[in-house]
Amino acid sequence: MTKSITVLGSTGVMGRLTLDVAAHLGGEIAVTALAAGQNARRLAEQVVQFRPQYVSVANPETRDELCRLLDGSGCVPEIGVGPEGLARAADVPTDVVVTAVVGAVGLIPTWRAISRGATIALANKETLVAAGDLVMPYAAARGAAILPLDSEHSAIFQCLQGATGSTVSRYLLTASGGPFRQTPASELAQVTAADALRHPTWSMGRKITVDSATLMNKGLEVIEAHHLFAASYDTIEVVVHPQSVIHSMVEFADGAVLAQLGVPDMRVPIQFAFTYPKHLPRPDQRLNFAQLQQLTFEAPDVERFPCLRLARAAGEVGGYAPCVMNAANEVAVEAFLQGRLSFTGISAVVEETLGRIPSGHPNTVEDVVQMDEEARSVAVQIVRESR
Ligand SMILES: NC(=O)c1ccc[n+]([C@@H]2O[C@H](COP(=O)([O-])OP(=O)(O)OC[C@H]3O[C@@H](n4cnc5c(N)ncnc54)[C@H](OP(=O)(O)O)[C@@H]3O)[C@@H](O)[C@H]2O)c1
């Protein structure tokens, strides 16, 4: 039976890979709604190829450009604008909403998709980091499944198939270690955005690539795993595995470890979220074990990469702390990408923002949105002070 999908963030790396999978699956997937930010040209191409009923863009200028580009194409989707346009994309009645926008902007549309019981194919980890304590019970109450797209969480999800009733003793999240895995601490303050954007194994959007370089991405994933698998933090471990061949592992109570391996290609976990519980054919490259030579592992260095420690600690504290940590990180990463903050300044801004905002617990998703805004303005101020 054909599944209808909405792709939030269709013009980004994950969004484009999702549409590539949708095209590969052909008649099994109907692309009904798309949401993008400001890339009108790429969105117009997607509209012509997939003919969605509804699209949204971040601002009126992008909408006007999209209309010009679609003029004469025969495609006349309804077009929404801004945060409400994005949330309305999630309201379009589809089977699956792929959340591939970057940042906490994904929270409200994810919430709206859950409220109508849609399956969430979740790439936007920031949503679970900021509001996992509210999102997970709400999804359970609305009967909305949340399926992971992140390769690590998809790997764990795959390892857990058929394991109902088993006790998991450890969730082992693998990390490539990023481009600065072997960079001495004394040189990290001088690395540039261009250096950080050269990821050794994965091709990703700018924000997540910097998060991978600081190991914040792995910290966000620790919190994501806590929520997705109802895993206590003491069972979640990070293992640096530079080859990115093992995407993550699960250790059961008897000591048996299951790992999921594959070439680093996000289309595999994306497709699995659509075809779950089945694995269907894909045309991609395969692992060549004879050429692999070695798979290596090491402990992460939280002295050189304090973001991993900060994120885990914020997750353990809970309440507003992960939301504050995430918002501060988004501000700091943007400042780093614009050359206004050093690489080592990112963790400093996150730590200082956490220190300035008192703890507390959100009761509603609106509380989280408000705290996200407050934490951003505190972090912006701290970035200014650091110059
Ligand atoms: N890339 C990966 O391999 C990977 C793997 C696992 C998880 N993830 C997660 O997936 C998410 C997306 O990552 P990515 O690498 O695909 O990022 P990306 O390439 O930067 O794409 C971000 C997408 O979000 C859209 N967007 C940004 N701000 C928006 C706004 N205010 N309103 C509407 N749309 C907005 C962008 O639109 P425009 O480009 O049109 O402005 C773009 O479509 C992140 O949460 C990331 O952590 C990514």
- β-pair partners for 240: 175, 298
Q: What phi, psi does 250 have (nearest 5°)?
A: -130, 130
Instruction: Give the distance (Å) from ligand 1 centre to CA of residue 14.
Output: 7
Stretch (H or E) spanning 121: strand 119-122
In a domain, 269, yes or no: no
Q: How many CB atoms lie within 10 A of CB 355?
A: 11
Q: What is the four-CA torsion angle of 360, 363, 364, 366, rounded to 10 degrees?
A: -30
pLDDT, residue 338, reads 98
Q: Is there a single domain that holds both residue 343 and residue 325?
A: yes
Which residue, by CA, sits nearest to atom 20 of ligand 1? Answer: 205
* Strand bridging mode 236-240 / 168-175: parallel
Q: 118 lies in which domain range? A: 3-149
Segments in the chain forming alpha helices (H): 13-25, 40-50, 60-70, 82-91, 107-115, 125-142, 151-159, 185-188, 193-196, 206-214, 216-228, 267-275, 289-292, 306-317, 321-337, 343-356, 365-385
> Distance between CA atoms of 101 and 105, rounded to whole angstroms?
7
DSSP annotation of 26: G
Query: Could you give the 3-state DSSP secondary structure of residue 383?
Result: helix
Minimal-distance CA residue to ligand 1 atom 14: 205
Report which ligand 1 atom has the smallest distance to the Cα of 124. Answer: 45
Pocket test residue of 45, 61, 102 for ligand 1, highest count of atoms within 8 A of CB: 102
How confident is the model at residue 314, as a pLDDT? 98
Non-local CB neighbours of 115 within 8 Å, separated by 6+ positions? 138, 142
Say if ligand 1 is within 6 A of residue 205 CB: yes
On whether residue 272 sits in a domain, the answer given is: no
Query: Which of 94, 122, 149 is the last residue in one of the domains?
Result: 149
Q: How far is the CA of 36 from the centre of ligand 1 (A)?
A: 9
**Amino acid identity for residue 379 in this structure:** A
> Is the whole-model pTM more than 0.95?
yes
Closest ligand 1 atom, residue 43 Cα: 40
How would you classify the pairing of strands 246-252 and 257-261? antiparallel
Residue 250 lies in a domain: yes
Instruction: Tell whether 166 and 297 lie within a shared domain.
Output: yes
pLDDT for res 1:
84
pLDDT at position 387 is 84
State if residue 35 touches ligand 1 by the CB under 6 angstroms criterion.
yes
Domain identity same for 191 and 242: yes
C-alpha span between 37 and 61 (Å, rounded): 11
Predicted pLDDT at 341 = 98
pLDDT recorded at residue 202: 81
Distance CA 37, CA 70 (A): 17
136 inside domain? yes
Note whether 255 and 378 are same-domain residues.
no
Work out the number of other CB atoms within 10 angstroms of the CB of residue 50. Answer: 22
Main-chain phi, psi angles of 332, to 5 degrees: -65, -40
Q: What is the CATH number of the domain that holds 347?
A: 1.10.1740.10
pLDDT digit of tens for each residue in the chain (387 aa)? 899 999 999 999 999 999 999 999 999 999 999 999 999 999 999 999 999 999 999 999 999 999 999 999 999 999 999 999 999 999 999 999 999 999 999 999 999 999 999 999 999 999 999 999 999 999 999 999 999 999 999 999 999 999 999 999 999 999 999 999 999 999 999 999 999 999 888 889 999 999 999 999 999 999 999 999 999 999 999 999 999 999 999 999 999 999 999 999 999 999 999 999 999 999 988 999 999 989 999 999 999 999 999 999 999 999 999 999 999 999 999 999 999 999 999 999 999 999 999 989 999 999 999 999 999 999 999 999 998
DSSP-derived secondary structure letter, 278: -
Rg (CA), the chain: 20
Same domain, 11 and 132: yes
What is the tally of structural domains in the chain?
3
